[in-house]
């Protein structure tokens, strides 16, 4: 049975049982492309702050999914420089949470 659940992603994911989803796909807000509500304080997240915000989202998504987890991500590019935030996120998820990631070209 298919089901669409709407709510704050972290709240919804934490309430779900482990391995209760067959497939998960998401397109999280890109670094500094959205204003985040952080405890009555609105601000944009960049660099490591964005990585720290994303980690629990992906850890929980992997916990509830019994199959493939597909997440579309890209770091911002300005003045011919690309933010390394995606690489930091991949490294932290691998080193700290043993979540193995594959990237597509």
Contact 73, 89 (CB under 8 A): yes
Note the pLDDT tens digit of each residue in 7-55. Answer: 888 899 999 999 999 988 887 776 766 666 666 666 777 888 889 988 9
Distance CA 5, CA 16 (A): 11
Note the pLDDT tens digit of each residue in 43-72. Answer: 777 888 889 988 999 999 999 999 888 888
């Amino acid at each position: 049975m298919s089901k669409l659940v709407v709510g704050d992603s972290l709240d919804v994911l934490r309430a779900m049982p482990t391995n209760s989803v067959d497939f998960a796909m998401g397109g999280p807000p890109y670094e500094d492309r959205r204003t985040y509500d952080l405890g009555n304080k609105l601000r944009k997240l960049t660099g490591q702050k964005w990585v720290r915000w994303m980690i629990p989202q992906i850890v929980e998504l992997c916990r509830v999914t019994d199959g493939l987890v597909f997440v579309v991500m890209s770091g911002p590019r300005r003045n011919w420089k690309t933010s390394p935030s995606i690489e930091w996120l991949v490294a932290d998820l691998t080193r700290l949470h043993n979540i193995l990631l594959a990237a597509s070209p």
